[in-house]
Chain A
Amino acid sequence: MYKYDQWDQAMVDARVAEFRDQCQRRLDGKLTEDQFKPLRLMNGLYLQLHAYMLRVAIPYGTLSGTQMRALASIADKFDRKYAHFTTRQNIQYNWIKLEDAGDILADLAKVEMHAIQTSGNCIRNISSDHFAGAAQDEVVDPRPYAELLRQWSSFHPEFSYLPRKFKFAVIASETDRAAMRLHDIGINIVRNDAGELGAAFYVGGGMGRTPMIAPLVRDFVPLDQLITYAEACLRVYNRYGRRDNKYKARIKILVHELGAEEYTRQVEEEFALLLAQNIEPPIAELERIRTYFEAPGFEAGASDELSRSDPDFAVWTDRNTQPHRQPGYVSAVISLKPVGGIPGDATADQMRLMAELTEQYSFDECRVTHTQNIVLPHVRKVDLFALWQKLEAAGLGTPNLDQVGDIIACPGLDYCSLANARSIPIAQQISERFHANGKGDILGELKLKISGCINACGHHHAGHIGILGVDKKGVENYQLSLGGSEAEDTSLGKITGRGFDEEGIVNAVEISVDVYLAQREGGERFLDTYRRIGMEPFKEALYG
């Protein structure tokens, strides 16, 4: 994985010193909250319902064991012995004291981490495929390109005050495991007919109050023009994106209002100008970055045999492992969704164990997924049973990847100052319901996503089943939507009808699932059945 050079480290260390001083000035009363707020947000420090919250960047979700251990240590020293993995492959601490912020950032800097650009109207953490470098179907490891974009976008002076926040996702496969087309810019690294690598640019996607699927703007940008094209896309947005209304300020609105064709024309015009200015980083830099992402020393001839004599282990293997491009290896997914648990939360002890397992079984590398789980990307099959036993003992062995219990949920009204309704209790009740009634085991793939407000951090628009919490005259109410997908068949869910109260929404999910069970044909997933039969049978069952 990427290692900081002297410039990376110097930038991060300088920011720690600067923010420590800013915090002290605020504590001394020399800065007002209005003056301090933009400074703290540039460093990922929010003020949430109960305390300050610190969001730490995890570039493309990749962590070493040392980094995971450092994150656990911060949870112990400065928080309440747990942390929350987010839907953008980051981590959040919910109980931070302002007076500790400088020390926390210093601890992060020691392990090449920071909280820069995890908030504010700038280019946020670059996300990617959590199976990058391991997936059988990838054209190439997308992370060197994500890292190049990270370096380009860090402290980019032109893009530090965009109309709104800006999110990139980079993948390199037909299968989309990063919700690529639901980002401001989604990049898919592809190979053309001549065998050359290039980048397909999708621009203007997003969730939030106005969900949109990003249209393809250019199907092949040569890799030695990647940054130049990204800069052109951003420059047009920065110039014409609306700043008068924050609800219409994302690039998706600009692309929609201009039309993809006109937006593309303007980008191409800007691109031509930028090409003449030769702003692209030297290809040698990309090659330097790429050396950090070379495949680890896989054991040649590692056994492909896997004992399935333990039935629980067999179920976990079937559900929570992914085929690997290297024979004898798999990618193993650690579920942070125990039955009735809080999606994405992990205790400091669990994080320390995951650090240890990362080092012991996965070439010192793990990944945070946007679905709030952890991946050990490179595990020998012969080690899998021992790994599973350790996970089981720590409450991390739930076999529910992409099942109804593998719910994405934002922190909701339990933590978030923007939320209108609680998300986590709904996730917990659904998880418990489908575990208790046994239906969870017969449903197959069913992606359920819950947001506590229209900002859609819980990706509800993209859920096969989506739930949105709203405020109905001071009372929590939940809208149900069906038919969303954030995979390569990206689609946006449609609302079923009037909302439900807390108990009602859990029942409504079960009713919807029962319609699916009654109507599914062959090996159809919930989403397949919905797409075949449409909304009406579900509405009929839900509302009569």
Chain B
Amino acid sequence: MKILTGNDLKTGAVTWWDGSGWSLHVDDAVDAGDEADAIIAREEAARRINAPYAIEAEKTATGVRPAHIKDRVRGLGPTVRLDLTLKPGDPNAVREVI
């Protein structure tokens, strides 16, 4: 699947296109398919998200897994500070990213 990501203009937080807006959770990401370029152009024009781009990902039993490790780290947060990630209570979170 092709999903879209960027960083929120105000906070810089990593966001994912969920079909109608931008979510902080990668598992909310939807397949943008052939609409990816059009959505990116529209959202860039709206100037709420910094530099949105499309990436490859796969839907798994546990959620959405970006193909590249950099985007998986973006989806979680720093692997060395679980307390600062989106899954501070999940001891398996880092293993799933790597």
In the A-B complex, the 4 residue pairs with the smallest Cβ-Cβ separation, listed nearest first, are A51-B12, A52-B12, A414-B78, A29-B47
Given A29-B47, A414-B73, A425-B79, A98 and B9 touching (CB < 8 A)? Answer: yes
- Decide if A98 touches B11 in the complex (CB within 8 Å): yes
- For chain B, the bracket of interface size reads 20 to 34
Shortest Cβ gap from A98 to chain B (Å): 6
Residue numbers of B with Cβ under 8 A of A are 7, 9-14, 44, 46-47, 50-51, 67-70, 73-74, 77-81, 84, 98
A51 CA / B47 CA spacing, docked (Å): 16
Residues of A near B69 (CB, < 8 A) are 413, 471, 474-476
- CB–CB A424/B73 < 8 A: no
Known A-B contacts A32-B47, A413-B69, A414-B80; the reply to A50 vs B9 at CB < 8 A is no
| Chain A residues closer than 8 Å to B78, beta-carbon distance | 50, 94, 414-415, 424
Query: Given A33-B50, A96-B12, A97-B11: A49 and B79 within 8 A (CB)?
Result: no
- Complex: chain A residue closest to B77, CB-CB: A50
Candidates A29, A96, A99, A414; contact of B79 at CB < 8 Å: A414
A235 at interface (Cβ–Cβ under 8 A)? no
Q: Given A33-B51, A474-B68, A474-B69, are A50 and B80 also a contact pair (CB < 8 Å)?
A: no
Task: Say if the beta carbon of A80 comes within 8 Å of chain B.
Answer: yes
Task: Tell whether, in the assembled complex, residue B67 and residue A97 are in contact, meaning their CB atoms are under 8 Å apart.
Answer: no
Residues of B within 8 A of A474 (CB): 67-69
Query: A residues within 8 A CB of B10?
Result: 27, 97-99
Set of chain B residues within 8 Å of A502, measured between Cβ atoms: 98
Query: Which residue of chain A lies nearest to B83 when distances are taken between CB atoms in the complex?
Result: A80
Specify which of B46, B67, B98 lies most central, judged by the most chain A CB atoms within 10 Å of its CB: B98
Smallest distance from the beta carbon of B59 to chain A beta carbons, Å? 18
User: A96–B47 Cα gap in the complex (Å)?
Assistant: 19
A350 in contact (CB, < 8 A): no
Q: Is the CB of A49 within 8 A of B73?
A: yes
Contacts of A48 in B (CB 8 A): 12
Are A80 and B12 interface neighbours, CB within 8 A?
no
Question: What CA separation (Å) do A138 and B81 show in the bound complex?
Answer: 40
A26 sits at the interface (CB 8 A): yes
The contact of B74 among A50, A422, A424, by CB within 8 Å, is: A50
5 A-B residue pairs with CB within 8 Å: A49-B74, A51-B7, A98-B11, A414-B81, A425-B79
Most A C-beta atoms less than 10 A away, residue of B7, B51, B80: B80
CA distance A95 to B46 in the complex (A): 24
- B80 near A47 with CB under 8 A, answer no
| B47 pairs with A47, CB closer than 8 A | no
Q: Which of B9, B46, B80 contacts A425 (CB 8 A)?
A: B80
Determine the chain B residues whose CB is within 8 A of the CB of A417 once the complex forms. 70
Chain A interface (Cβ < 8 Å from any Cβ of B) = 26-27, 29, 32-33, 47-52, 80, 94-99, 342, 413-415, 417, 419, 422, 424-425, 428, 471, 474-476, 502
Write the chain A residue with the least CB distance to B50.
A33
Q: B84: which A residues are within 8 A, CB to CB?
A: 80, 95
A48 to B12, CA, bound (A): 8
- In the bound complex, residues from chain A placing their C-beta under 8 Å from that of B70 are 49, 413, 417, 419
A30 to B44, CA, bound (A): 13
* Residues of the A chain whose Cβ atoms lie less than 8 Å from the Cβ of B46: 29
**A97→B53 CA distance, assembly (Å):** 21
Contacts of A96 on B, CB cut-off 8 Å?
12
**Within 8 Å CB of A49, what residues of B?**
14, 70, 73-74
CB distance from A16 to the nearest CB of B (A): 19
9 other A-B residue contacts (CB within 8 Å) besides A47-B51, A99-B10: A33-B44, A47-B7, A47-B12, A50-B78, A97-B10, A342-B80, A422-B79, A424-B78, A474-B67
Q: Which residue of B lies closest to A412 (CB)?
A: B80
* Chain A residues near B80 (CB-CB < 8 A): 342, 414, 422, 424-425, 428
Residues of chain A lying within 8 A (CB to CB) of residue B44: 32-33
**How many angstroms from the CA of A415 to the CA of B46 in the assembled complex?**
27
Asked whether, in the complex, the Cβ of A413 is within 8 Å of the Cβ of B73, the reply is yes
Query: In whole angstroms, how far apart are the Cα atoms of A49 and B73 in the complex?
Result: 8
Chain B residues with Cβ below 8 Å from A95 are 12, 84
Q: How far is the CA of A96 from the CA of B11 in the complex (A)?
A: 7
- Inside 8 A of B68's CB, which chain A residues have their CB? 474
Given known contacts A80-B84, A413-B73, A422-B79, A98 and B67 CB-to-CB distance under 8 angstroms: no
**Which of A49, A424, A476 has most chain B Cβ within 10 Å?**
A49
Known contacts A413-B70, A425-B79; decide if A50 and B13 are in contact (CB<8 Å). yes
Closest to A96 in B: B12
A188–B74 CA distance with the chains assembled, in angstroms: 42
Instruction: Decide: A27 and B12 in contact? CB cutoff 8 A.
Output: no
Cα separation A32 to B50 with both chains bound (whole Å): 9
